[in-house]
Amino acid sequence: MQIPFSPPYIDDSVINEVVDTLKSGWLTTGPKVKALEQEIRSYSGARQVLCVNSWTSGAIMMLRWLGLKDGDEVIVPAYTYCATALAVIHAGGRPVMVDSGEDFNISIEGIRRAITERTKAIIPVDLAGFPCDYDEIMKLVREPEINVRFHATSPVQHKLGRILILNDAAHSLGAIYNSYKRTGAETDVAIFSLHAVKNVTTAEGGAICLNLPEPFDNEALYTELRMMSLNCQTKDALAKSKAGGWRYDIVGLGMKINLPDVNAAIGLAELREYPKLLLKRKRTFLKYNRAFANFDWAILPPSEAKGKETSYHLYALRIKNITEEQRDEMIDIITLRRVYLNVHFIPMPMLTFFKEQGYDINDYPQAYKNFSQEISLPVYPQMTDEMVAYVIDSIVDAYYKVAKVPKISTASCKEKSAPKMEFLAP
Ligand SMILES: *Cc1c(COP(=O)(O)O)cnc(C)c1O
């Protein structure tokens, strides 16, 4: 059996929606993007949603809109995909990395210690789809002793009057916060990624959710940012295509990061089926939970706690008391059985570019621990019971091959077999 890590979900309804776009004569940003924005808006409860061509480009644009100046700081977790920090650098800021907690998410105490007069934004990441504690983060940036130190240096920063919270919700479309709210509605700005490996995809894409407080007008902001995503051109391609609509102006330094309709069609069809697909993910996730709960060496990933529920994007299993090398060895053994795995994530301070900037993994012990013990298992809607059982069996088998207790001789180690696994029965 071969089990890919995260194949895209493409059924007839997705294909038909794309074909419909191809036949419509309109390929780039137009009616399908509008429809996708409306769908994401009603699904997430965000006040406005603007689609762009990636999470990364959307984050760069939002940080440029915020008006970062040289040396301005943006707090990010050390444990995330590199895009979270790269967007800050592209927008002219400096990422300040903070260690994680045991739930993989950024440490709130770490955020508190990292805030300075130069802090302009915080980008928490809903790791694996499990939401961060946004009420606590909002409470923190509103504390009088924190807020007096906020030093606005752009019109947007003056208008906001505090540190901006931008949720990296790349993983967490459909996750639940505060028992009923969905992610996308809970922070000033939240950005979903619609990249090919995410729960809902447009091949490449991102959706910016806007929930700015008064005196911001989110609808006016949507119009402004839509223009900014199209070179700050006063007329988009659709408006220009109308008879006599050729004249336009360029009113600022924008970016060219709009999402084409061909891409939006994929996401539009997937989103219609998403509630059903999410339940399928959850089913697989819970099967893993039931299986690994039998082993005291397995640490189950966070899924439901304090009114929060994950989007079941990743199953981030951790193995107690193993080294990074042993984890790597486990993955090699499992790969031989043609089960494809991943590790989310290599902490940024371990990557060459960030090391060269002076970040040091020794400053982020929990991030390193989470990373060194982590294996992400496949958890997508197309997975059958048989596939799930095969993955579980491969993990258990690899664990007992790798985690040899030094005191046991090689001979007795070979004899040692995995406990009987009743959960494998149909
Ligand atoms: C995928 C991902 C991104 C980047 O998304 P793109 O749409 O590929 O730019 C950002 N942050 C996290 C945590 C991600 O997993």
Confidence of residue 71 (pLDDT cuts 50, 70, 90): confident
- DSSP three-state, residue 216: coil
What is the sign of the dihedral through the CA atoms of 288, 292, 294 and 300? negative
Write out the H or E segment, with its range, that includes residue 208.
strand 206-210
Q: Is the CB of 344 under 6 A from ligand 1?
A: no
125 lines ligand 1 (CB under 6 A): yes
- Judged against a pLDDT cut of 90, whether residue 424 lies above it is answered with no
Look at residue 92 and give its three-state secondary structure: coil
Segment 231-265, tens digit of pLDDT: 999 988 888 888 888 999 999 999 999 999 999 99
Tell which atom from ligand 1 comes closest to the C-alpha of 197: 1
Q: What is the mean pLDDT of residues 393-405?
A: 90
How many Å apart are CA 103 and CA 40, to the nearest integer? 27
Predicted TM-score of the model (pTM): 0.94
Looking at residue 91, its pLDDT comes to: 97
Does the beta carbon of 168 sit less than 6 angstroms from any atom of ligand 1?
yes
Which residue did the predictor score with more confidence, 411 or 326?
A: 326
Between the alpha carbon of residue 282 and those of residues 133, 249, 289, the distances in Å are 21, 49, 10
Report the relative pairing of strands 176-177 and 181-182 from DSSP bridges: antiparallel
Confirm if 250 and 244 have CB atoms less than 8 A apart.
no
What spacing in Å lies between the alpha carbon of 348 and ligand 1's midpoint?
14
Q: How far is the CA of 196 from the centre of ligand 1 (A)?
A: 10
Centroid of ligand 1 to alpha carbon of 195 (angstroms): 7
pLDDT for the residue 236: 87
pLDDT band at 221 (very low <50, low <70, confident <90, very high): very high
Q: State the pLDDT at residue 203.
A: 98
In the three-class reduction of DSSP (H, G, I as helix; E, B as strand; rest coil), residue 127 is classed as: helix
Computed over every residue of the chain, the mean pLDDT equals 94
Report whether pLDDT(412) > 50: no
Query: Does residue 426 carry a pLDDT above 60?
Result: no
| pLDDT at residue number 404 | 76
Atom of ligand 1 nearest to the CA of 54: 7
Q: Is 55 in the pocket of ligand 1 (CB under 6 A)?
A: yes
Does the CB atom of residue 282 touch ligand 1 within 6 A? Answer: no
Which of 30, 16, 64 shows the shortest CA–CA distance to 253? Answer: 64
pLDDT bucket at 417, cuts 50 / 70 / 90: very low
Residue (of 81, 99, 79) closest to 363 by Cα position: 99
Ligand 1 closest atom vs CA 59:
9
Out of 79, 80, 88, 168, give the residue to mutate to test ligand 1, the one with the largest number of ligand atoms within 8 Å of its CB.
168
Average pLDDT rounded to a whole number, residues 36-46:
98
- Closest residue to atom 8 of ligand 1, CA basis: 195
pLDDT at 381 exceeding the cut of 60: yes
State yes or no: cis peptide before 345, omega within 30 of 0.
Answer: yes
The region that residue 207 occupies, defined by phi over 0 for left and psi between -120 and 50 for alpha, beta otherwise, is beta
Q: What is the pLDDT of residue 75?
A: 98
Q: Is the CB of 263 under 6 A from ligand 1?
A: no
Task: Say yes or no to pLDDT of 229 above 50.
Answer: yes
User: 3-state SS string over 12-64?
Assistant: HHHHHHHHHHHHHCCCCCCHHHHHHHHHHHHHHCCCEEEEECCHHHHHHHHHH
> Does residue 201's CB lie within 6 angstroms of at least one atom of ligand 1?
no
Cβ of 193 closer than 6 Å to ligand 1, yes or no, is yes
What pLDDT score does 46 carry?
98
Q: Which domains does the chain have, with CATH numbers?
A: 12-272 (3.40.640.10), 274-403 (3.90.1150.10)
Give dist(CA 271, CA 64) in Å, integer: 29
In this predicted model, what pLDDT tens digit does every residue of 121-176 receive, in sequence order?
999 999 999 999 999 999 999 999 999 999 999 999 999 999 999 999 999 999 99
pLDDT band (50, 70, 90) for residue 409: very low
Is 126's C-beta closer than 6 angstroms to any atom of ligand 1? no
Are 315 and 285 within 8 A, CB to CB? Answer: yes
